[in-house]
Structure 1
Amino acid sequence: MLTQVEITHTVNASRELVFKVFSESEHLKNWWGPKGWRFTVSHSDFRPGGRFHYSQKPADGDVMWVKFVYHEIIVPEKIVYTSYFSDKDGNIVRAPFNENWPLETLNTLTFKEDGGKTTITAIVAPGASATENERKTFEESQDMVHEGFSVTFNQLEDYLSNGLK
């Protein structure tokens, strides 16, 4: 059984709106990723088999590139994608923070609405090709994964409450 991290967060917005800000790059660039990092979209093709390629850069560090490949999209209920660290051309590379991080992670996002509020559930797991060492590194990094998504979801909440840009 593969190790996985599950994160849930509820925002005060309709499921359709929340799904929209997850699926459109003009919205994602305003809230996705670490707080205070510059986010640049290189390519966005939101469909099964499509990819999303972006860079993110902290004020005091190097650019990191990330690529998503979408597998399943059920509007407005679910997004399944594989995430990879990459170079600027989209070639898969090792994570800049840990050479034993899995080359790919499988991410499943679900969106459920109740009373005008939407609960987002993110499940993140090492990809099927992960080695035992990569799985162990992922397992040891669960707090980091949880914290990263929590910060990102808080930024989403701020973005939704401050009006879409």
Structure 2
Amino acid sequence: MTVEPEGKELVITRVLPAPRELVFKAWSEVEHLKQWWGPKGFKIHVAQWDFRPGGIFHYNMQSPDGHRMWGKFVYQEIVAYEKIVWVNSFSDEAGHIVRAPFSDLIPLEIRNTVTFSEINGSTTMTLCSGPINATEAERSFFEGMFESMQEGFGGTFDQLETYLAQRDDE
């Protein structure tokens, strides 16, 4: 079952100087994903990886000072080299959905769609994110965080771009 986001969505587009197959691989293979996903300076530790519709990516992010936050993707749809759809949540170590440690108004579930298209060897990657099963207050808070989320994803996608440049031989 696919659930569509409610309200306004965050949309971020980035053109990456890498072929679409390599960009997709960076998202779809855990050894690649853990090299660039998350805030700058954080290390990703993978607890569970099952890249298929209905599968789960359960991980924790460790800050440079040792603080850990858990997160979880539940994949909904995967079209090789074209699209990945997942619901993202904060979680506990057991994988149960929990509130974000920094705000009670962050929606519990965010539906994300990332699409990939290639032109002349470069890949246009577009991420669309929106809350699902959210209260009006949560939707409003999410929409108020767009600028902050653009900065956060900008840093994460900078890491992806650097990682892809290092993997150019594949």
TM range (shorter): over 0.9
Distance 1:47 1:137 in 2: 31
Distance 1:62 1:137 in 2: 24
- State which of 36, 52, 57 in structure 2 corresponds to 1:31: 36
- State which of 142, 158, 161 in structure 1 corresponds to 2:162: 158
Where structure 2 has 5 or more consecutive residues not aligned to the other structure, the ranges are 1-5
Distance 1:161 1:75 in 2: 21
Distance 1:158 1:147 in 2: 17
Q: Report how far residue 61 of structure 1 moved.
A: 5.2
Residue equivalent to 1:130: 134
The amino acid of 2:19's aligned partner reads S
The amino acid of 1:139's aligned partner reads E
Residue equivalent to 1:15: 20
Aligned residues: 164
Distance 1:62 1:126 in 2: 26
> After the TM superposition, which segments of 4 or more aligned residues of structure 1 sit over 6 Å from their partners?
none
Residue equivalent to 2:102: 97
TM-score, L = length of structure 1: 0.96
1:71-104: CA deviation from partner (whole Å, max 9, x where unpaired): 0100010000000100011000000111110000
Where structure 1 has 5 or more consecutive residues not aligned to the other structure, the ranges are none
Q: Report how far residue 60 of structure 1 moved.
A: 2.3
TM-score, L = length of structure 2: 0.93
